[in-house]
A and B are shown apart, each in its own frame.
Chain A
């Protein structure tokens, strides 16, 4: 659709023009809130560095990942092989929004999810995995440390 035919279409539908106007207003609010957020973010770090996992924990985490075989279903940076694709890639996990698209992104919840996913997300495909509580915390540390930018 060219822009002139779009305008012609809009003229036949006045309601549409009204909606467009409202959209423009919303966009202005959006810009304003982005500025406010930008100012606020000076106080609150972006996710990647919100948690600062220590190196030893991350190292233990990678070991636990290999021992449990997480890579059978996930592509995981630092694990050369295998690169299973049954589950989502965990590349750049430091930037993920919600855990498995549903749970609040917190280290303690991530550890619980890693250990026993169905207990926090019913009907998820990811099964409970044979890792201890402290191993799960280490794995969470490792995943949050995956800074790809």
Chain B
């Protein structure tokens, strides 16, 4: 969640991969240079006020302007620029072909996430969360859907703008497992501050298991949708079709939740793979039950926050593009939440 961004050390000084490492190196170098220049200026100031007349004459001439005011900053800034650009060039290298590709689109005010295969076809849809294997370079193809956003997971890489009508590239790589917070770094409207992101780095084998679990689950839902008679249509995550614990005290009915989801307009804005819900205006909910957060990285994901979000998202994130469903009864909201929780 976003709050993974707080605490000590600040994530910009705590790189978790080679690309972020470069950004941190650059930051320290610039900071060090700043300290040196400040020290020189302070020393010159002190000499100008307290120094001997000979010293004052020495630093008071035109030569000082040429050397200290033009030559020195010119050389230093040019040097830093060239060095900085070469150091960080690898962050935006074009696609070589052997990397993992993930497309992330900034929307007001959340992130669409699409996992691509080597040919650039979408193999899995998700939102507000990026799962990546440790030690593997990942190329993020960044786009903006409406206005300019900026993608930033400081533990993993630098910032990169997400521009409508253009595709920008950003390389990330995690060298240790963990959860890394991110956020939109370009003002994009009223809820910009609540547009967060979570990147989760798994050990490589864990990542593969995670990916396979999700794809088989979706394939099974699709197959069941085709073969089951309509009235016996099991919903994705049906406790009978999939051995998943429902919780012993469950008072809400996920099957009713699914019907309510399809009939209350949710399906027009949200997609759940393998069902008739195929809306594109909001985040993909195929895997919402296993997300770390709700509302774009801002809330933990549990029964309570799920009900709270559905029932009154406008008081949580005022102005967001999803209406508050206070026209539904609390029972109905509970049913829907129970259904969505099963969408792992």
Contacts and interface: CB of A to CB of B under 8 A. Distances in A.
For the complex of A and B, 7 pairs with smallest distance between CB atoms: A72-B308, A125-B330, A73-B308, A69-B305, A85-B315, A72-B305, A69-B300
Of B304, B315, B337, most buried by chain A (CB within 10 Å of CB) is: B304
B95 interface: no
B56 interface: no
Interface stretch (A26-34, A51-59, A93-101, A126-134): A126-134
18 contacts: A69-B308, A73-B307, A73-B308, A73-B312, A82-B299, A83-B315, A84-B308, A84-B315, A85-B312, A85-B315, A86-B311, A116-B249, A125-B307, A125-B334, A127-B304, A127-B334, A129-B302, A129-B303
B199 interface: no
A interface SS class = loop
Nearest to A119: B249
Interface of B: 3, 249, 251, 298-300, 302-305, 307-309, 311-312, 315-317, 326, 330, 334, 337
Contact of A127 (B307, B315, B326): B307
A69 B304 contact: yes
A66 B305 CA distance: 11
A72 B310 CA distance: 10
Contacts of A84: 308, 312, 315-316
Contacts of B308: 69, 72-73, 84, 86-87
Contacts of B251: 118
A67 interface: yes
A119 B247 CA distance: 14
Contacts of B315: 82-86
A82 B304 contact: no
Contacts of A72: 299, 304-305, 308-309, 316
Contacts of A119: 249
Contacts of B298: 82
Given A82-B298, A118-B249, A127 B303 contact: yes
Nearest to A130: B302
A72 B315 CA distance: 8
A126 B312 CA distance: 14
Interface in A82-139: 82-87, 116, 118-119, 125-130
A73 B304 contact: yes
A70 interface: yes
A86 B330 CA distance: 10
Given A66-B3, A73-B308, A125-B334, 7 more contacts: A68-B300, A69-B304, A72-B316, A84-B308, A84-B312, A128-B249, A129-B302
Contact of B316 (A67, A82, A118, A127): A82
Nearest to B193: A81
